Amino acid sequence: MYRSWIAAAAATLLAPAFAMAADLRIDANAIFKPIDAASVATAVKNNDITAAKIELGQKLFFDPRLSKSQIISCNSCHNLGTGGVDAGPTSIGHGWAKGPRRAPTVLNAVFNVAQFWDGRAVDLKAQAKGPVQADVEMNNTPAEVEKTLNSIPAYVTAFKAAFPSDPNPVSFDNMAKAIEAFEATLTTPNSRFDRFLKGEDAALNDVEKKGLRLFIDKGCGGCHGGVNIGGNGYFPFGVAQKPGEEILPAADKGRAKVTHDAADEFVFRSAPLRNVALRAPYFHTGSVWTLEEAADIMAKDQLGETLSKEDLGAIVAFLGTLTGDQPKVSYPMLPSRTKDTPRPQ
C-alpha cells in the first residue's frame, strides 16, 4: 500500500526512469542490506574484536606452521588475492588429498547465518578449529598447534596482548578467536549494488537494473537475501528438478548429515553472492565454471524456469555489481621458529 503510494507519487512528480529506479530501490531494500559498520559490529558474538586480536589473527591465517606439513595455511585455500577461494574445483589439502567440497570464500563470511555449505559450525571461531584438524586439510592436532605456538616467543607475547585477562592465553580456542577477529575485517563494502541501495541511481546501468528486477521478481532473492545476498538460510538444491550427478552427487547429502533429518537431504545453505564474479567455479562441487551457467541451473532447478539468454545476461550483469572494495591486506611477517618448534611432517 505504502509502497505503491510512493511509486504513484514518484511517477507523477518525477521522470519515469527515475521513478522506476526509486521503486526498484524500495523493493531491493526490503530484501537486501548494504554492508555498513553496524552490520559488522552485530555479526560477531562472544568475542571482543580488538586491534591486538586482529593482528594476531592475521598472522595465524597466513602461518603454514599451523598445519602438520607446515606448507598449508588458511590462505592456501582461501587466497585473499583471488576472492578468498582456491583454484578449485574442490580443495587440495594434506598429502595432496582432494577434499569433497569447494572452498567457500572467507570474504564477508562473518555475515553468514552459520559456516560451511551445510552450516555445521555456528560461527567463525567454531569453524576455524575444523580445517586445522581435518585430515584432508591441515591434518594437525590442537596439542601440536599449542606446542608450536608456545615454542615461538613472539607468538606467546602476541597471545598475551590479545587475551590479557586469560590465565592460559596460548590455546587452540584463542587461536580460533583471533582468526575470527581477523576474518571479521574481511568485508567488501561499497559495491555498486550497495551504493544503489543507499540511493545512488547511476551506480547501476540499465541492464544491471533489469537484472536486479529479474533477480527479485523471478524469486532468486527469496533464497539469496540479507546483507550477504545469500548465506542466510537453508534450502533444498533441486526444488523444481534435481541437477545432474556432477553438480549434486548422491554421496553428499548436505544438511541431513548435520541435522540427521531425512527431510534435509540435499539441503544446503544458499550461497552468499557478494563478489561471486571473482570466484568461479561454482556450487559446493565447484563443477560449474561460468556465472551464466550457474544462473541458468538455478533458474531451471530451483525455480522451474528457462530464462532467455538476454535475461540470463542481465542477471549476470547484476551479479557483477556485487563486487565490493576488496580488503587491503598486507602479507604479515611471521615470527621465526625456534629449536623447540615441531618439525614439518
Compute the distance between CA of residue 210 and CA of residue 203 in angstroms, rounded to an integer: 13
Q: What is the DSSP letter of 10?
A: H
Minimal distance in Å, beta carbon 237 to ligand HEC? 5
Catalytic member of 55, 137, 200, 246: 137
Minimal distance in Å, beta carbon 38 to ligand HEC? 21
The grid cell for 70 is 607446515
Cell numbers 537453508 correspond to 234
Closest CA to 193 of 28, 304, 309, 343: 28
**Beta strands, E only, 114-227:** none
Looking at the Cβ atoms of 34 and 57, the one nearer to ligand HEC is 57
Is 137 one of the catalytic residues? yes
The grid cell for 279 is 570466484
Minimal distance in Å, beta carbon 9 to ligand HEC? 31
Looking at the Cβ atoms of 22 and 270, the one nearer to ligand HEC is 270
Looking at the Cβ atoms of 7 and 147, the one nearer to ligand HEC is 147
Angle at 81 between CA 77 and CA 86, to 5 degrees: 25
Looking at the Cβ atoms of 74 and 203, the one nearer to ligand HEC is 74
Residues in the site for ligand HEC, rule: CB under 6 A? 61, 72, 74, 76-78, 91, 93, 99, 101, 103-104, 106, 109, 112, 115-117, 124, 127-128, 131-132, 137-138, 179, 218-220, 222-224, 235, 237, 239, 268, 270-271, 273, 276, 282-284, 291, 294-295, 298-299, 302-303, 315
C-beta atoms surrounding 202 within 10 Å: 9
Minimal distance in Å, beta carbon 182 to ligand HEC? 8
Minimal distance in Å, beta carbon 202 to ligand HEC? 24
Compute the distance between CA of residue 257 and CA of residue 149 in angstroms, rounded to an integer: 33
Pairing of strands 267-269, 234-236: antiparallel
Looking at the Cβ atoms of 90 and 203, the one nearer to ligand HEC is 90
End-to-end CA distance of the chain: 66
Phi-psi region of 70 (alpha: psi -120 to 50; beta: other; left: phi over 0): left
- The amino acid present at 268, given as its one-letter code, is F
- The residues, any chain, with a CB within 8 Å of residue 261's CB and separated by 6 or more, are none
Range 305-309 contact pairs with CB under 8 angstroms and sequence separation of 24 or more? 305/218, 307/214, 307/218
Minimal distance in Å, beta carbon 20 to ligand HEC? 21
Looking at the Cβ atoms of 203 and 271, the one nearer to ligand HEC is 271
The phi, psi pair for 12, rounded to 5°, reads -75, -30
- Judged by DSSP in three states, 299 sits in helix
What are the catalytic residues? 137
